[in-house]
Structure 1
Amino acid sequence: MDEDCSRTSMKFNTDQKLDMGKAEIEKKEGLALLIYDLKQRKLIPIKILSLIVFSGYGVLFPYAAIHMKSLGISVEETGAIYSVNAVLSVLIPICSGMIADKLGNFKMLLSVLFGCTSITSLIFLLVPVGRISIANPTNMSMTLGCFNDNSTLTLTDLDLHPCKFKLNEDSEIGENVSATIGECGSVCYRSDKSDTEATLETASSFVSDTNLDHSIGKEYLDAVFFPNDWDLEMSCLQNLSGRSNCQLGRKSGAVSRKGKNATLALKLFQSDYNIKRMIPVLWMALEDESEFHHKSSDFQIQCSTYDEKLNLLQTVYSQDNQTENNPITHYRTCRSQCVVQINRSDLCSDIVREEVINPQLTFWMYLLLRSVFEVFVVGSATLFDGAALVLVNEVRGDFGFQKMFGFIGFAIFSPISGALMDHFSTNENDTNFRPAFFLFAGLFGIAAVGMLTIDLNFKPPAEKLMKNVISLLKNVELDVLLAVCVASGFLVGCTGNYLFLFLEEIGGTRSLMGLSVTISCLTAIPLLLLSDTIFRKFSVPNVLVFCLFTFVIRLIGYSYITNPNLCLVYEAIEAINGALSLTSFMIYANQLGTTSTATSIQGLISTTYFGLGVGIGSSVGGVLIGAFGQRVVFRILAVIAFLTGFFYFLFNILYLRLKANDKNNTIVDKAESNRKVEEIQ
């Protein structure tokens, strides 16, 4: 998100300085320049196209990361895709500039690029899903009862998906979980055993399964539950040592439909779980028997009376397709147990499960398509900015005012896109991205047709970026500025491209995400209008230090929020460390160069910020988030932002101010010398 809004502010309030010889521009400032610009009929198509094009950016680009996630593309793979895009964002502007120089009037080329961008965006809908994330049921179905004839009270997992326990250092003592005890009855477990094993285990008398009412049986994983008319009860007595001896028994009468709430202490370090899926219960406290809240060391459950009144039902039956040489016997044991419901999030860490289809096909297909799409998007953006800049200079308007309409479109259409996705999605785990892609394709299709109505009968000057780069890099002040520019772009790449993934994790809707973009862009508009006043009053280096320190506040804030609505507060701050920061880089770099190197510096800042900074940040951010999680990464980035701002502040104090003082002293000395010469004469 930071990158999307910041990219629109590049060259804002700086491009009019490209033609410093035009006195009319210097005479008009503020409101007078705005009124003059709005009266230029030749610029109306550019304003409308800026509104349309940046509206297209707003409906799709902020949601690119969560769209990749919906396709099953991992965070690390997302970082790799952004890395390729970073390389393309460096090369494409240079190549497209060379093509434009050769063609001169590139109206038709720009229209074709807009059209290809529109068509390519729809092909994304054909990319297959590589991995599917499926939410596990909220509650786990388990059975509670004594295991065979010993005194071990046990929970047996009946869920289709085994639990990955959330273990901690106290799990050996007992992990307390809340449970709801439902109906009680006979739970019959199925397993495949040899005929000999079955004979040995069923040697005692057993009852035929015809005694069970199969019409009311409930199917679970490898088990069938037959409800009976009884409920679970527990009675406890304390001995002289203070130990509570509790006996688990049954009482007549079915449990209520609401169930009975209880607290269970589970011993999760149990090696047999992976095989038998059983968890020992250290102690149990029923909600209506509060006096039995005991620690495990003072609590013991006896199951001796639990099975006295009910014979175990054991059934042996043969499989129809057994062979004579290797007979297969199915063995079923029925035990007196109660069905228990436990919230999965209280016990397990695997709230969702992943079904792998073909992630390699999805990744490479998306990467190829995204690379082609990036060529069209970046190429058309570069040529469109060039065309707008030339037309603005012809009528001596202001390039920033044309971009302002882009901000307005971005701010309006981004939440509309999010709201449409929420409206057409069946549930929060299955987002429908089609409205975003259809909107994007439609807007860029309109831009392709609208581009043909603009008169671009000019021969733009050739931009030779590399010619002046070596001379520019000899300036220490500019070198340090570029280093800070890379660091800022790195921070934007690590946060902006993955922020919506974080908001989605904490429950943010697509509508909220779109609204956050609107808040960011609308806040940036007055800041950019007042940027010239701000720079004159506080100086650009001081503004950059302030932008970095506000980035620290924003990152730390995001690392602690649990309410997704709070993102609106921090996205208002994003206007400072995003749009204002990038404008500061462009203004300051322009001051360090000359009129002849203005275009080269502009291209150098763009390549440094977006190509190196944002590109590396997007790639490294995916790796860091995959390894440490998003909250930890926010804090790491906050440290980087603070250190960058602190060192640049020291550079400002120890170098820039001393240099400025030396320059002022030189001017004073020169003036004094001239005065003395005049006195002598």
Structure 2
Amino acid sequence: MGEEITAVDVEVNTDIPRRGFCGLNKNLVLLKVTLFFLHGATSSLVPYLTIHMQSIGLTMEQIAIIYLLLPFTTFIAPPITGILVDKFGRYKPVVIGCFLLTAILHHSLLLMPTREAPGIVPDGYIIRHPKKMYVEVWWSPCPSRQCPATEELDIVLDLCEDHCLLTQAKIEKRLQKNKAIDMNDPGDTDDLSFHIKKKKSNDTATAFTLDMHPNLGDPIEQFGIELESAEDDEDVTEFKKRFRTGMLRRHGVDMKELEHKDLRCGGIVLEANSSTQTRLSNYTNDCILQKCQFRFGGPEVCPPDFEESDPVIFWMYGILRFLATTLQLAAVSITDPVALSLIEKYGGDFGKERLFSCLGMAIFSPIVGALIDWNSERLGYTDYSAAFYAFDVLLIIASIAMFTMEIDTKLPSDSLYSDLKKILKMPALVVFVFFLFLLGNLWGFIESFLFFYLKDLGAPNYLLGITVTVGTLSSVPFLYGAEKITSKVGHVRVIIAAFFAHSIRLTGYSLTDTAWLCIPFEALEAIAVHFMWVAAATYCAVLAPKGLLATLLGVCMVAHYSVGRGSGSFFGGHLIAKFGITLTFRIMGAFAASSGLLYAFLHFVWLQKAERAVAEDSQEEEVESLRKGVKYRDQGTTMSMERLSVMAEFNPAGSLSSLGRSHLSRSSIIRRSSLRPHQKQEFIKSTNEIRRNSDKDISTHALYPSLSQAENGFIPNEKDEIVYDEIKRRNQSDDKNKKENENENLPTQSPEIESQK
């Protein structure tokens, strides 16, 4: 009846990957080492570059401009990579050269002169009204901070001195006395103690109480940017409204000097003990204003102040940073395709290999932050050299590991933007990409300005590193099984949830007055970024017409991780300059929630119908590619360098489990090396029959391997499994119908014959 199969005309790779300690594939150990140290180097330096720019005197507007320009490296790095590979004919020297040049160019940023002035604790000022004789205490909470909102506050002032600068004779007299005080502090005997409390209507006055003024002023600047003040607001209580300039001048007080002290917090001393009252009377006899130091209960150390640098520094830094980012992106754009080719050659899963990238990022960032704190405390100013040296050392280790790896695969490269016009003609796809762009704005704003906000709250640098660790480790569960959750919940619902996760993060940050409380909100990055991208990438496979999946995926990467991030950083910087960082975080949080609601409305009202129409139109056109098979060996699991470069640079944590090999549920069935010879033969035969008889194609040949890859010893990935199941279901249905037709045509047989059968 049929031809007997005596030989298989397909070469089958039956080599079993070498397994070592804890089941590790020995052939991929060097790959794990490379990814571990490469992304460890990235997390050691890149998160701290934002605050390093501030330390060399760049303004917020200049920082925003640099972040707006950096996404253009996405379009420059892949062509440079292709030219270098074509010139040398090998990948290894190009990758190692890019690693080393990246380290050199980034290290050159350390040579920029620092403009940082260490933060200090503001002084307190005690003033007695010359006519009404009441005493008030005023101080600055730091230009970027709020006045204390607590109901009760204890303070201790020490080392008080006259501050009537216009009375020259008294100044010279007090200078000699103050020198003796500075050299020999008598201790607690001269301290002025107050108990600060907001007076309530039913409270009885107690000793050491001070009635805080209502409606005290808001911060006057953020990161060196002067904010729009409310000086003209009649409800705001200010020092100059309580004490007129003419009166102060008559008593020898220089009001112009006090205007630069940001005296926004203050209150009236209601009562004091007898010793404090006597000391106050003695101090204010010859000068109504006393300048004191806080010993207890006063404001914390202010954030460092930064002197604005010359425009030449801005241009030098911008050029060096642009070149360094371009080479870093060029190196990563080759590393990930190389990793995919090695995984196909020796077996493995890309998502699991990226786990070592996550571990590198989670481990090194807080360690480097702790080193920065330790060295800065020793030097007296913030020194970021530890981050640059760690970056250099880790990149050198990654280069050595790359040098010892075997790289012999020629990887394909295709154009990211060749079919962009086709996508722009589809409204449903344009809207989808636009909302990913909005998500990129939210993510870019947080990535650029969260460290600024935490530093303003007094966060140590190791805490900044811990935020990277929390955000990275929270993504690890989404390297596995995220697609199963997405298939149950729905792609669109996950993307909408990402908007609200960003909204909760941004609003939560704005309500936080302690830096450590940011940790729970940082964990939401798992949903807002990593889980969202898994849903978006797999949703592209649903939306993309025939032959446009890879292009759509690349455009989404650029829209979110590149252009969106730069846009969010640029506009966020200008919003901070106008409204302050706290209010800007709340504005962005409200924007995230409203964007999520708008996308949900558009999807369920319009986009859902449009997506169904696109799917129905493209389903009948996708027939020929499965019959033709793949054009080259690595087509199924190798993305072009352009597209992987975007992902690796702007989403170093990965979330690419869909690009790996088969999941465990099917790998135990179809993994070639685990089949016996006759099983391999039957598997190949059935695969060929399915490929010849199927009327359905895999529309994602540029990203996912077609089913014919089984002939070359490859393992289908998740997309293949879906198509495989669909084809199998149809074939089973056709076979069942065929048998029913045959049974109808056969003559009725006797029960004896039936039983014999």
TM-score scaled by structure 1? 0.68
Match of 1:531 among 479, 482, 494: 482
Question: What is the rounded CA distance, in whole Å, between the counterparts of 1:495 and 1:533 in structure 2?
Answer: 28
Query: How much has 1:614 moved relative to structure 2?
Result: 0.6
SS of 2:495's partner is: helix
Deviations 1:35-60 (A, max 9, x none): 9x975443322221111101111111
Matched residue, 2:41: 56
Question: Judging changes above 3 Å, is the alpha-carbon distance between structure 1 residues 23 and 48 closer, same or farther for their aligned structure 2 residues?
Answer: farther
Identity of aligned residues (%): 23
Counterpart of 1:271, as a letter, is T
Residue 639 of structure 1, CA deviation: 2.1
Kindly report which structure 2 residues correspond to 1:79-228, keeping only aligned pairs within 5 A, or say none: 79-97=64-82, 99-100=84-85, 104-129=89-114, 131-140=115-124, 146=130, 151=131, 217-218=177-178
- Provide the residue aligned with 1:46 in structure 2: 31
- Specify the SS of the correspondent of 1:426: helix
Give the superposition deviation at 1:183.
Answer: 8.5
Q: 2:449 aligns with which of 498, 504, 508?
A: 498
Within 2, Cα distance between the matches of 1:391 and 1:471? Answer: 34
Distance 1:113 1:144, change over 3 A: same
Q: Which one-letter code corresponds to 2:63 in the other structure?
A: T
CA distance in 1, matches of 2:336, 2:314: 32
Q: How far does residue 475 in structure 1 lie from its aligned partner after superposition?
A: 3.3
The alignment partner of 2:475 has SS state of: helix
Instruction: State the one-letter code of the partner of 1:277.
Output: D
Q: Which moved more, 1:42-51 or 1:498-507?
A: 42-51
Residue of structure 2 in register with 1:277 after alignment: 254
3-state secondary structure, aligned to 1:498: helix
Q: Which amino acid in structure 2 is aligned with residue 218 of structure 1? A: N
| Gap change, CA 1:551 and 1:385, over 3 Å in 2 | same
Q: Which residue of 2 aligns with 1:630?
A: 581
Corresponding residue for residue 258 of structure 1: 191
What is the CA-CA distance between 1:577 and the residue it aligns to? Answer: 0.5
CA contact (8 A) 1:183 1:259 kept: no
Counterpart code for 1:72? G
Partner SS, residue 268 of structure 1:
helix
SS of the equivalent of 2:69 reads helix
Q: After the TM superposition, which residues 233-248 of structure 1 pair with which residues of structure 2 at under 5 Å, given as runs?
A: none
Match of 1:653 in 2: 604
Q: Which has the higher contact order (CA 8 A, sep 6+)?
A: 1
Tell me, in whole angstroms, the C-alpha distance in 2 between the residues paired with 1:365 and 1:646. Answer: 43
- Provide the rounded CA distance (Å) in 1 between the counterparts of 2:118 and 2:298: 18
- Alpha-carbon offset, residue 157 of structure 1: 12
Query: Is the partner of 1:425 in helix, strand or coil?
Result: helix
Gaps of 5+ in 1: 1-21, 26-31, 169-175, 193-207, 228-253, 293-302, 313-333
462-471 vs 392-401, which moves further: 392-401
The 1:283/1:368 distance shift into structure 2, 3 A limit, reads closer
Residue identity in the other structure for 1:51: F
1:85 deviates by 0.8
Q: Deviations over 1:447-467 (max 9, x none)?
A: 222222222222222312222
Between 399-408 and 469-478, the greater mean CA deviation after superposition: 469-478
* AA matched with 1:627: K
Change in Cα spacing, 1:337 to 1:219, as seen in structure 2 (3 Å) is farther
Give the aligned partner of residue 273 of structure 2: 288
Deviation string, structure 1 residues 83-132 (Cα, Å, up to 9, x no partner)? 11122233323443455466552210110000111222222221012x43
Tell me the distance in 1 between the aligned counterparts of 2:414 and 2:545: 15
State the distance in 2 between where 1:541 and 1:188 align: 67
Decide whether aligned partners of structure 1 residues 648 and 218 sit closer, same or farther in structure 2, where only a CA change above 3 A counts: same
Q: Within 5 Å, give how 1:290-309 maps onto structure 2.
A: none
State the shift of 1:570 in Å.
0.9
Call closer, same or farther: CA 1:400–1:191 in 2, change over 3 Å. Answer: same
Offset of 1:380 from its aligned partner? Answer: 1.0
Q: Is the 8 A contact 1:167 1:268 kept in 2?
A: no
SS in 2 for 1:463: coil
Verify the 8 A CA contact 2:470 2:522 in the aligned structure 1: yes
- Quick one: structure 1 residues 425 and 536, their matched pair in 2 at CA, closer, same or farther if it must change by over 3 Å? same
**Shift in alpha-carbon separation, 1:340–1:539, aligned structure 2, 3 A:** closer
In structure 2, C-alpha distance between the alignment counterparts of 1:497 and 1:642, rounded to whole Å: 20
Q: Is the 8 A contact 2:164 2:289 kept in 1?
A: no
Query: Greater shift after overlay, 389-398 or 445-454?
Result: 389-398
The Cα offsets for residues 412-455 of structure 1, whole Å up to 9 and x where unpaired, read as: 11111112212222179832211111111100111222222222
Partner of 2:365: 414
How far the C-alpha of 1:345 sits from its partner, in A, is 13
Structure 1 contact 101–460 (Cα < 8 Å) conserved? no
The 3 A distance-change label for structure 1 pair 93 and 153 is farther
Report the number of matched residues.
553
Q: Pairwise mapping of residues 242-641 of structure 1 onto structure 2 (< 5 A)?
A: 256-259=189-192, 261=194, 263=210, 268-269=240-241, 270-272=244-246, 276-277=253-254, 285-288=270-273, 335=286, 339=290, 341=292, 354=305, 356=307, 358-395=309-346, 397-426=348-377, 430-593=381-544, 596-641=547-592
Contact conserved, 1:51 with 1:409, CA < 8 A, in 2?
yes
Q: Is the 8 A contact 1:135 1:351 kept in 2?
A: yes
Distance 2:423 2:511 in 1: 42
For 1:183 and 1:343, the matched residues in 2 are separated by 9
Aligned pair in 2 of structure 1 residues 429, 527: CA closer, same or farther (>3 Å)? farther
Instruction: For residue 615 of structure 1, report the CA deviation from its aligned partner.
Output: 1.2
Contact kept in structure 2, 1:184 and 1:336, CA below 8 Å: no
Moved more, 570-579 or 99-108: 99-108
TM (norm. structure 2) is 0.62
1:574 offset after TM fit, Å?
0.8
CA distance in 2, matches of 1:353, 1:424: 16
SS in structure 1 of the partner of residue 286 of structure 2 = strand
Q: Match for 1:652: what amino acid?
A: H
1:578-621 deviation line (CA, Å, top 9, x unaligned): 11112222222234337854443333222222221111111111
Secondary structure of the structure 2 residue equivalent to 1:459: coil
Q: Contact 2:366–2:466 (CA<8 Å) still a contact in 1?
A: yes
Q: Does the CA contact (< 8 Å) of 2:35 and 2:398 recur in 1?
A: no
Deviating more after overlay: 118-127 vs 353-362: 353-362
Q: Deviations over 1:278-300 (max 9, x none)?
A: 69x9975331379x9xxxxxxxx
Aligned residue type for 1:140 = G
Deviation at residue 637 of structure 1 after TM alignment: 1.5
CA contact (8 A) 2:445 2:572 kept: yes
Is the 1:183–1:338 Cα contact (8 Å) retained in structure 2? Answer: no
Corresponding residue SS for 2:240: coil
Judging changes above 3 Å, is the alpha-carbon distance between structure 1 residues 513 and 581 closer, same or farther for their aligned structure 2 residues? same
Structure-2 change in CA distance of 1:217 and 1:485 (3 Å): same
CA separation of 1:543/1:339 partners in 2, compared to 1, >3 Å: closer, same or farther? closer
In structure 1, distance between residues paired with 2:293 and 2:467: 37
For the pair 1:72 / 2:57, whether they are aligned, the reply is yes
